[in-house]
Structure 1
Amino acid sequence: MKKILLLLLLAQLLACIGVTAQTRKVGGPCEGCEAIHECPVPFEELKAFVTMPDATWENRKPLAINGIVYEADGKTPAPGVVIYLYHTDQDGFYTPGPGAKGWEKRHGRIRSWVRTNEKGEYKFVTLRPAPYPDRSEPAHIHITVKAPGVSEYYLDDYVFDDDPLVTPKYRKKSVNRGGSGIISLKDVGNMYKGERNLYLGRNIPGY
């Protein structure tokens, strides 16, 4: 009987350790990172490609950004990583949609989720956001990631190399969480294209 009780206690301990490992906190403070869990579908159903709510070709040239997410070694592709994205509209505001709930009230309606495929690939299409009306920051796209085994955490924003607000001072102070977020865009005729690979744990506290 004592042996059975001991085995049960050991099983409970291992279960607790497993839960702790699955939710290991990394990245430091992150207001709004929990918005990643407002995904309208289970993470497992997400695709590696998403068209964000504002994307259109009507008198516009949308923006496509793709890349590969790598493990901490910088070489191994990381499948099953969830990426949450949001940005301002064409006037520089985070405008929520009708009846907005949760973090959409703060992040606005232009937000989406993708999940890397077996090759670690991801891609999204959107319109290039505008900077804040006071031009206090460059135009940017926020990104939060959730990899298996650790909590969600934010990476450096996507910003654009040709943005005059991406000054030498801005570049120097960038932490490069997950790698540099400064991307170059190429005009391919009907749209702009950019590429950014992401590196799990790079410059992330506690990873």
Structure 2
Amino acid sequence: MKTILTFCMVLILGTFSLIAQDNLQDLQLTNTDTIPDFQTKAEKLKISGTIYESDGITPAKDVILYIEQADENGDFELRKKNDEKYVYHHGLIKTNADGKYTFYTFIPGNDRRYNQLKQIFPTVKVPEQKQQILPSFLFESDPMLTRKCLKRMAKKDDLTRILKPKKQDGMLVVQKDIVLQEQIAITK
């Protein structure tokens, strides 16, 4: 129950407090970030990709991508800064002119007590638009990703969220491209 409550707090407090801020575009972000504790983790993971506009062709420039995840035991480590709670294992990038991004992270654990899959939770913020909470990234090697679960995802045409990392130079590497949903610009 603790993990489920923590997860709910993560979604409510963590993502919204970091991503919903209007001044995010002013941050000096690059298109590469490293999740805290990356160097100490056994299953290091490099996620790279391109974020595309809703047409699926045009690279999306200056899009902020935020990810957060559990540690290798499936627990969300919460920290506090300026009276705001956040998930310790998180990262934040801004795509370059080609829409490219890279995160250095690790494979999160799952909490078998509550049947939680290994997941990374992404959110994007496009200039002049509302944030978009994307479906979580899952892992093909996760033993909790059952055939039944895969069947349900296939019916929803949702299999692209499953990451299939390959070992390369001592690290797991995966390509994850993202196509933005079409939105109406925010008027001020």
Alpha-carbon deviation of 1:95? 1.1
Counterparts in 2 of 1:168 and 1:59: CA distance versus 1, 3 Å: closer
Q: Unmatched 5+ residue regions in structure 2?
A: 1-10
Q: Distance in 2 between matches of 1:31 and 1:96?
A: 13
Alpha-carbon deviation of 1:61? 3.9
Q: C-alpha deviations, 1:133-174, integer Å up to 9, x for none?
A: 415121000011111232012111111112122223323434
Q: 1:155 aligns with which of 134, 138, 144?
A: 134
Structure with a larger share of its residues in strand? 2
Partner residue in 2 for 1:185: 165
Q: Distance in 2 between matches of 1:133 and 1:115?
A: 34
Counterparts in 2 of 1:171 and 1:91: CA distance versus 1, 3 Å: same
Q: Distance in 1 between matches of 2:25 and 2:128?
A: 14
SS at 1:165's partner residue?
coil
Comparing 138-147 with 158-167, greater Cα deviation is found at 158-167
Alpha-carbon deviation of 1:189? 3.4
SS at 2:148's partner residue?
helix
Q: TM-score if structure 2 supplies the norm length?
A: 0.78
In structure 1, give the amino acid aligned to 2:138: V
Say whether 1:194 aligns with 2:174: yes
Alpha-carbon deviation of 1:176? 6.3
In structure 1, give the amino acid aligned to 2:100: E
Contact 1:78/1:116, CA 8 A, preserved across alignment:
yes
- Percent identity over the alignment? 24
Q: TM-score if structure 1 supplies the norm length?
A: 0.72
Q: C-alpha deviations, 1:38-77, integer Å up to 9, x for none?
A: 78x8434111000111201x57241100000001101110
Counterparts in 2 of 1:100 and 1:38: CA distance versus 1, 3 Å: farther
Say whether 1:55 aligns with 2:38: yes
Bigger-Rg structure (1/2) = 1
Q: C-alpha deviations, 1:53-112, integer Å up to 9, x for none?
A: 1201x57241100000001101110011111110001221111236684241xxx21111
Q: Distance in 2 between matches of 1:75 and 1:59?
A: 35
Counterparts in 2 of 1:176 and 1:150: CA distance versus 1, 3 Å: farther
Q: Distance in 2 between matches of 1:200 and 1:169?
A: 28
Q: 1:30-109 maps to which residues of 2 (within 5 A)?
A: 31-32=12-13, 33-37=15-19, 42-44=24-26, 45-56=28-39, 58=40, 60-97=42-79, 101-104=83-86, 108-109=87-88
Contact 1:131/1:138, CA 8 A, preserved across alignment:
yes
Q: C-alpha deviations, 1:111-144, integer Å up to 9, x for none?
A: 1111111000011011211012415121000011
SS at 1:79's partner residue?
coil
Q: Distance in 1 between matches of 2:167 and 2:146?
A: 22
SS at 2:97's partner residue?
coil
Alpha-carbon deviation of 1:180? 2.2
Counterparts in 2 of 1:38 and 1:199: CA distance versus 1, 3 Å: closer
Q: 1:123-134 maps to which residues of 2 (within 5 A)?
A: 123-134=102-113
Aligned residues: 170
Q: Distance in 2 between matches of 1:82 and 1:161?
A: 26
SS at 1:76's partner residue?
coil
